[in-house]
Amino acid sequence: MKHAGYIQIDSKALGRILDFEDAVIWSARVDRFNVLEILIEHPDLPEVIEWKEIPILQIAHTATYGDNGVLLKLERTDPKKGEK
């Protein structure tokens, strides 16, 4: 027997977690390498024309932890806020 279930998360909450406030999330899937790909629309990302040639981006974050090891803050460092 396996233990499994679908996890649902509000798209606005996921945008905040990824530090892409007000992002529009269009889709998500797991690729053949078990990497979660999330198609989002946000002004800090490269411009695309008619949804063609959408770049694959790897974002970077800096995490801040409390003394007890609890995550306090996750800040996106690449791409930087307000920069494309």
Summarised one tens digit per residue, pLDDT across range 10-56 is 989 888 888 888 899 999 999 899 999 999 999 999 999 988 899 99
Q: What angle do CA 31, 36, 41 make, to 5 degrees?
A: 110
Residue from 26, 66, 29 nearest 45 by CA: 26
Contact 19, 76 (CB under 8 A): yes
Structural domain including 44 reads 11-78
Q: How many CB atoms lie within 10 A of CB 79?
A: 16
Q: Decide: 37 and 30 in contact? Cβ < 8 Å.
A: yes
Would 21 be classed as within a structural domain? yes
Total tally of structural domains belonging to the chain = 1
Tens of pLDDT along 71-80?
A: 888 888 888 7
Give the Cα separation of 11 and 71 in Å (integer): 20
Q: Look at residue 63 and tell me if it is in a domain.
A: yes
* 4 part of a folded domain: no
7 has pLDDT over 70: yes
